[in-house]
Amino acid sequence: MKAQLQKSATLLLTLLMLSLPLPALSKAYFAGRKEMVEKADLIALVDVAAVEKCDRKGEPFSYSQKAPARVLQVYKGKCGDNLTIYGGENFICARLNIEPGKALAFLRKEKEEGAYTGSNWHLSLLPVTANGKQVKWFKAPQERELSELSLAAARQDIKDDLECRTILEQSPAFIKTIYGAQRLAGSAVGEGAEKSPLYLAYLEALKNAAKYKKELTMTARYGSPAGRLYAVSALAAGQAEAARKLLTQMSNCKDNVYYQSGCKGTNELLGTISQELVKKGRYLDFELGKD
C-alpha cells in the first residue's frame, strides 16, 4: 500500500511539472564573452532615452519593458538608426532589466521589424559611463564577471572574438589539434611506446612559433585550457615577455587541466599551472618553451 502511494505521488508530481510553463522549468544559462559575441544577431553601441511599460507576448517569454534606442555604432549585424529593445522577461531565474543611457548591446533579432531582445540576459546591455569612454566588460573570452574597461579595448575584443573562428579555420592541423586539446600531455612515453599526438602537435607549434605567432596568440586566448598552455609555451621560445603576460592573465583561472606524463596523470587548475610556469618555468616535467 505504501509503495503504491509513493508511486502515485511521484506520478502526480511529474504531471504537475509537465504542466508548468517553460520559464518555470528552465534554468538560466549565461554565455561567456566569446560565445555571446558569436551568438548575438546584433552588437551595437546604443543610447536608450527612456524605458516604457508594455505587455508583449513572445515565445517562450513575455516582456514587460519596451525601450526605443538610437543606434550610435554597429559592430556586428545590420540595423537602422533606431530600434526597439524588449526586456523584463517573465522568467524567475534571469531577465534583462533595461535602464536609460548609453550601453554596449548584444541583441537577438525578433520577427517584428526593428524589434530586439537581449541575447544574454542582464549581460545583454553593458552600461557605458558618463564620459562615454568606459564600459562594464569581461576580462577574458571565457569570463562572465565584469569590470570597468575602456570602450576602445572592448571594441578590439569584439573584433578579435569575431575573427577567431576565421583564423582557426585557416590554421594548419597542428594548431587545430592543440586548440582543442583535452589534456596537457608531456614528452614521456606511456604504454603505447609512442609520444602523444598532442605533444607531437605541440612540437610542430614550437618549431613554427615565429611563423604562426598570430594563430598561437589566438589559441592562447581562446583555446581549451590545455590548448592555451601549449600555445603559450610555444610562444615562450621566442616571445618570453608576451608569454609571461598571457600566463599572468590566466593565473586566477579555475578551469581544470588534466596533465599526462607517460602512464601517470594529475588534475590541476589552469591558474595554478600558469603560476608555476611563471615562477619556475616548468610544471612537473613540462618546461616552458622547450621540447
pLDDT reported for residue 19: 43
Q: Is 252 exposed, middle or buried (0-12, 13-18, 19+ CB in 10 A)?
A: middle
pLDDT reported for residue 74: 97
pLDDT reported for residue 21: 45
pLDDT reported for residue 22: 42
Which residues 6+ apart lie within 8 Å of 99 measured at CB? 48, 51, 125, 127
pLDDT reported for residue 10: 46
Helix (H, G, I), strand (E, B) or coil at 204: helix
The one-letter amino acid code at 286 reads F
Cis peptide before 60 (omega within 30 of 0): yes
**For the chain, which residues score pLDDT lower than 50?**
2-3, 5, 7-25
Q: Supply angle C-alpha 162, 115, 157, rounded to 5.
A: 20
What's the CA gap between 29 and 152, in Å, rounded? 28
What's the CA gap between 197 and 181, in Å, rounded? 10
What's the CA gap between 77 and 173, in Å, rounded? 31
pLDDT reported for residue 229: 97
Backbone angles phi, psi at 169, to 5 degrees: -60, -30
What's the CA gap between 289 and 291, in Å, rounded? 7
pLDDT reported for residue 109: 95
pLDDT reported for residue 130: 72
Given a contact cutoff of 8 angstroms between Cβ atoms, the answer to whether 93 and 121 are in contact is no
pLDDT reported for residue 192: 56
pLDDT reported for residue 4: 54
pTM score of the predicted model:
0.76
**Residue showing cell 562615454:** 132
